[in-house]
């Protein structure tokens, strides 16, 4: 057992502050990782504030983790010391159910072991995330970071990247397909880059008029200001696919109206519930679905795709001491497009 510096929150109304956690000694199949960078996902904010209920405190958030292997257990075959690696939203699962066996561990019937705000497979040991200097993870839940991806720009791929890659792939984003990306935040900006890399025609649907030029810089072909009823009307019934990444409650019926016949709306943002009218689906036989991160195999595929295509996140790197300020800015939508914590700032203060 080793004591590790971290940042934790003690309850939904308490700011994040220095905290010490204990990590297990690496077992036979474990990888000990020195964390270099950890992205700040809006899910961190939802869970720290207990917006989804059942939050476990103290909480050390962080599930967009990139670092270097410091040591491996004796039976570890897939990783070696010094290698660059990543860890995403879960660190274990039952490994035995149909979902686990088909590489969709995020849907494990026993429940995946979340990287934080969850428990290890024993069901009692709390998990602590990447706002810390080191983490110990079973090798089956660690990703290889391909060469050519800068660490700080790769960290957000472990959640924002896979959460958008998976539905874009599954729903066939590609040449000849009109794809709308709703909400231009951490997930949204990755979705724009990935959908463009897949060859789709991409439109950003944003409630922030000021994001127009940023959307174009990211590669989007078009921009629609969703607060402008006239612009929305002009785009009614044209999209094959819309990925909704919005973190706040909003009108799904208005989004569905933008889809053509048989078009698909995929929800990935997790706001509070909002009403849905059957007619929005029925009138053009539209489909409504959701998507949850991605399995280990697909996450590796996404990382390799990003390296091959030169796709990575646009980030603002911060020291951990600024994490509470970053949360406030993320809540106001003032981030381009992902905050990433440099964990050197935590090592330095505790040396």
Q: Would you tell me which residues interact with ligand NAP (CB under 6 A)?
A: 41-43, 46, 159, 163, 183-188, 206-208, 211, 245-248, 250, 268-271, 291-293, 330, 333
Distance (Å, rounded) from C-alpha 180 to C-alpha 240?
Answer: 8
Q: Which helix H or strand E contains 342, and what residues bound it?
A: strand 338-342
Q: What's the min distance (Å) between Cβ of 315 and ligand NAP?
A: 12
Q: Identify which of residues 108 and 243 has a Cβ nearer to Zn ion in the complex.
A: 108
Tell me the chain's radius of gyration from C-alpha atoms.
20
Among ligand NAP, Zn ion, none, what binds residue 108 when CB lies within 5 to 8 Å by partner kind? Zn ion
Contact 70/84 with Cβ under 8 angstroms?
no
* Binding-site partner at residue 93 among ligand NAP, Zn ion, none, CB < 5 to 8 Å by type: Zn ion
Q: How far is the CB of 294 from Zn ion (least distance, A)?
A: 12
Taking CB within 5 to 8 Å according to partner kind, which of ligand NAP, Zn ion, none is near residue 324? none
Judged by beta carbon, residue 207 or residue 284, the one nearer ligand NAP is 207
**Half-sphere exposure at residue 153, Cβ-oriented, CA atoms within 13 angstroms:** 15
- Find the shortest distance in angstroms from Cβ 146 to ligand NAP: 22
CB 170 within 8 A of CB 291: yes
Q: Of the two residues 241 and 246, which places its CB atom closer to ligand NAP in the complex?
A: 246
What distance in Å separates the CA atoms of residue 29 and residue 6, rounded to the nearest whole number? Answer: 24
Between 20 and 289, whose beta carbon lies closer to ligand NAP? 289
Least Cβ distance, residue 299 to ligand NAP (angstroms):
12
315 binds, among ligand NAP, Zn ion, none (CB under 5 to 8 A by kind): none
Q: Select the residue whose beta carbon is closest to ligand NAP and give its number.
A: 185
Tell the smallest beta-carbon distance from residue 347 to Zn ion (Å): 24
Burial 112-131 (b: 16+ CB within 10 A, else e): bbbbbbbeeeeeeeebbbbb
In the complex with Zn ion, which residue's Cβ is closer, 153 or 225?
Answer: 153
Instruction: Select 40 or 346, whichever has its Cβ closest to Zn ion.
Output: 40
Cβ-proximal residues to 26 (8 Å cutoff; 6+ apart), any chain: 32, 71, 72, 73, 136
Q: Which is nearer to ligand NAP, 245 or 264 (CB)?
A: 245
Task: Report the interface residues with Zn ion, using CB under 5 A.
Answer: 41, 43, 93-94, 97, 100, 108, 159
First-last CA distance in the chain: 19
Cβ contacts of 265 within 8 Å, gap of 6 or more: 241, 242, 244, 252, 255, 256, 259, 286, 287, 288, 289
**Residue with Cβ nearer ligand NAP (138 or 244):** 244
Q: Which does 121 bind (CB under 5 to 8 A by kind): Zn ion, ligand NAP, none?
A: none
**211, interface contact from ligand NAP, Zn ion, none, CB < 5-8 Å by kind:** ligand NAP
**Closest approach of Cβ 105 to Zn ion, in Å?**
6
C-alpha to C-alpha distances, 55 to 107, 118, 275, nearest whole angstrom? 20, 8, 25
Q: Which does 243 bind (CB under 5 to 8 A by kind): ligand NAP, Zn ion, none?
A: none
Residue 106 has φ and ψ, to the nearest 5°, of -65, -15
Phi/psi at 264 (5° precision): -125, 130
User: Which of ligand NAP, Zn ion, none interacts with 97 (beta carbon under 5 to 8 A by kind)?
Assistant: Zn ion
CA 67, CA 56: separation in Å to the nearest integer?
A: 25
CB of 147 to ligand NAP, least distance (A): 26
Residue 325 β-bridge partners:
none
Angstrom CA distances, 307 to 157, 160, 231, stand at 11, 15, 36
């Amino acid at each position: 057992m080793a004591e590790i510096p971290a940042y934790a929150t003690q309850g939904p109304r308490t700011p994040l502050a220095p905290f010490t956690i204990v990590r297990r000694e690496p077992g036979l199949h474990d990888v000990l990782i020195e964390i270099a960078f950890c992205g700040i996902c809006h899910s961190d904010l939802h869970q720290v504030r207990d917006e989804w209920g059942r939050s476990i405190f103290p909480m050390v958030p962080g599930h967009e983790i990139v670092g270097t292997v410091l040591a491996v257990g004796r039976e570890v075959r897939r990783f070696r010391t010094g290698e660059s690696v990543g860890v995403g939203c879960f660190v274990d699962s039952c490994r035995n159910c149909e979902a686990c066996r088909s590489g969709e561990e995020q849907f494990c019937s026993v429940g995946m072991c979340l990287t934080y705000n969850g428990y290890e497979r024993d069901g009692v040991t709390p998990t602590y995330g990447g706002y810390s200097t080191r983490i110990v993870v079973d090798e089956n839940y660690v990703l290889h970071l391909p060469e050519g991806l800068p660490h700080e720009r790769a960290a957000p791929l472990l959640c924002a990247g896979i959460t958008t890659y998976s539905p874009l792939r599954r729903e066939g984003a590609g040449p000849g397909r009109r794809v709308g990306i709703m909400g231009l935040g951490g997930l949204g900006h990755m979705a724009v880059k990935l959908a463009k890399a897949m060859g789709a025609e991409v439109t950003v649907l944003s409630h922030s008029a000021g994001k127009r030029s940023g959307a174009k810089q990211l590669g989007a072909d078009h921009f629609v200001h969703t607060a402008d009823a006239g612009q929305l009307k002009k785009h009614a019934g044209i999209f094959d696919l819309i990925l909704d990444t919005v973190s706040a409650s909003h009108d799904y019926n208005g989004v569905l109206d933008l889809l053509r016949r048989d078009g698909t709306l995929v929800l990935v943002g997790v706001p509070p519930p909002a009403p849905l009218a059957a007619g929005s689906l029925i009138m053009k036989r539209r489909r409504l679905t959701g998507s949850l991160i991605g399995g280990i195999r697909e996450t590796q595929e996404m990382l390799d795709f990003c390296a091959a295509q030169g796709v990575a996140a646009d980030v603002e790197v911060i020291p951990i001491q600024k994490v509470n300020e970053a949360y406030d800015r993320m809540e106001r939508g003032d981030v381009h497009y992902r905050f990433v914590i440099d964990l050197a700032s935590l090592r330095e203060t505790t040396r």
